[in-house]
Chains A and B, each alone.
Chain A
Amino acid sequence: MNIPATSTRVAASSSAPHRLGHLLRAFRQRLRDGDLGSTPVVIGLIIIWIAFQVLNPAFLTPANLVNLALQCAAVGTISIGVVLVLLLGQIDLSVGSISGLAAAILGVTFVGWDWPVVVSVALALAAGAVIGAFYGLLYSRFGVPSFVITLAGLLGVLGIQLWVLGDEGSINIPFNSWIVRFAQQMFLPNVVSYIAAVVAAGLYCWVTYRAQSRRAAAGLGSMHITETAVRALSLLVLLGFGSWYLNKDRGIGLMFVLFVVLVVCTNYMLTRTKWGRSVYAVGGSVEAARRAGIRVNRVYVSVFIAATTFAALGGLLAASRLAAANQSSGGGDANLTAIAAAVIGGTSLFGGRGSAWSALLGIVVIMSISSGLTLLTLDSSVRYMVTGGVLLLAVIVDAISRRSRASHGVA
């Protein structure tokens, strides 16, 4: 580890063995600089899985993992929205209430009033978007801290949820309705899951290869072709093995597929579009973004809208999986689990750092803990304490890496 700091920052040459060494050194340099990304959470997840597997061999069975995936989808979807607001250095405390409201709207209109499911879903999503627009307006017009706005939202929206439900404490959504079957019983057919794995890896390989050959043609540092191939192959093996393993039981739930697709799309939006760039810029330095001509208020409003819409969608998924909408939909720990997942996944609370993938990683960690402890027939009291401890650990890692970046002059 006694390489001089500058040696790893030299632009890469392209001979393969040299590059591999370079990659490793760059990675170690990043770790030392405190630019941890998702490394800690991946390591943490592996430890958690090994620990639970040792404690109870049922943990890593296909049946349990299939359920785990389904459990992740609803709160994970909410968490994607939380990642977005955290990237701006803001917070949305009301995501739970909004998800509950969406569930209530679905229950009342779809079951109570016999609306077509599409219309009910659209209305619920629109309600989420309207709330987000309202937050965005309050924030950009009056400069009220988002913490307070969304704290008010938490209470206010909960009130709306109860009002929408009215006298009916709980509305059961019919098991044979499409939306409940989607959430509970629809799985990718085995063949489709393998095709999807091949297509995903092939697409990754093709896109990366094209981008890298363009870079090479432009005389910029580029990834060696073998590296592209190795990465695509690893992806293929990972997806293929995962599909095969889950297919031994019921397979991959469509709801989980939807969640992953949303993560991938959000990741694209964040990393490859002008809008995403402006989100990171505003999260990094509002003043710099403003001076660069970015319409900062639009970014805030769009992100709040996206976050509340994701929250509403998550609420719909949760209600469908439960086949019911009631007064406690979106209550309990849904709110804080969604926020904790984003932070555990590696999105910084201080804004400007993180990725859509942290929603996926974070929720898998939380749900693994929950599932593992349930298998050990431990009380939910323990689950809360352990999850709280993990969250604390994640925040400490974030704070330490921030300080480490500062001490390396890369804050």
Chain B
Amino acid sequence: MLESNRRTIVPDEGLHVVEEVPLVSLRGVTKSFGAVKALQSVNFDVYAGEVVAVVGDNGAGKTTLVKILAGDHKASSGEVLYKGEPVVINSPADSRELGIATVFQDLALCDNLDVVANLFLGREVGDMALDEVEMEQRSWALLRQLSAKLPTVRTPIASLSGGQRQTVAIARSLVGEPTVVVLDEPTAALGVAQTAEVLNLIERLRENGLGVVLISHNMADVQAVADRVVVLRLGRNNGEFRVPDVSYEQIIAAITGATDNAVSRRAKAVTNEGPPA
């Protein structure tokens, strides 16, 4: 089993931690591509044991935000904090070392390799003599931890369904024992049943005390699993809601920029005060 699993936060002390120090924070992060500003002074936090959904229309800057967290892009200005400490994420390796695992929309799995090989790709156990037994055992442990159902782990990824591939990709992100998992559109290409499976996985990650960043277009998914919703619009923060307090229409209004109403004004006020209590 993973270390992170054992490190599940103890309730009373944990709640305190949850409210005080975010695992990862972006403070006033701006990212420009030439004249285009993909992100403008965006603030964003993710705490241990919560699922934060990042929503927004196309071009809102969701993917840029993911890429900054993943180390694919470097923020043009602004600060990235990890557990309150300023850090610099220059490369995917930096991001991984901090404990941020990113599952991209295209999953980045090798179709010709089997599940075990994919799970441990780049982190194989044993260098000149791969320890297949150890890796296969740990693969099963990982999949069990996610309550994922795969008939065998020795089949090439190519023969798995979309939901199973997503499962493998998420399981793989856990191999490095991360504290934050970033999921980019994990349900975009999935059917109803498979979507439900992936949502279960996301809840399992939260139960294991990880901070989960969920990028999604699908409001039903967001409302089903997220604790908080951060809305981006045209590269800026455009509201932050606690899921129980907010309706579908309110989120949509914030996404589309039907802004001049009580909801968005309240949202802005909440955002400016910092994370909602």
Interface of A toward B, CB cutoff 8 Å = 6, 9-11, 33, 35, 211, 214-215, 218-221, 272-274, 277-278, 280-281, 283-285, 287-289, 291-294, 352-353, 405, 408-411
Contacts and interface: CB of A to CB of B under 8 A. Distances in A.
A411 B158 contact: yes
A100 to B, nearest CB: 33
A278 B120 CA distance: 11
A395 B104 CA distance: 34
Interface size for chain B: under 10, 10 to 19, 20 to 34, or 35 or more residues? 20 to 34
Contact of B110 (A215, A219, A280): A280
Given A273-B127, A273-B128, A273-B129, A352 B112 contact: yes
Nearest to B137: A218
B181 to A, nearest CB: 15
A277 B130 contact: yes
Contacts of A221: 152
A10 B152 contact: yes
Contact of B123 (A11, A219, A293): A293
Given A10-B151, A10-B152, A291-B92, A277 B109 contact: no
B122 interface: yes
A287 B92 CA distance: 13
A284 B124 contact: no
B114 to A, nearest CB: 10
B206 interface: no
A99 to B, nearest CB: 29
Given A220-B137, A274-B124, 5 more contacts: A219-B137, A288-B109, A288-B121, A289-B110, A291-B92
B38 interface: no
Given A272-B129, A277-B121, A409-B159, A291 B108 contact: yes
25 contacts: A9-B152, A9-B159, A35-B156, A211-B133, A214-B133, A215-B133, A218-B133, A221-B152, A274-B126, A274-B128, A280-B112, A281-B110, A283-B112, A284-B111, A284-B113, A285-B109, A288-B110, A289-B110, A291-B104, A292-B108, A292-B122, A294-B121, A294-B122, A352-B110, A410-B158
Contact of A410 (B92, B110, B129, B156): B156
Contacts of A352: 110-112
A284 B157 CA distance: 11
Q: Which of A35, A281, A291, A293 has the most CB of B within 10 A?
A: A291
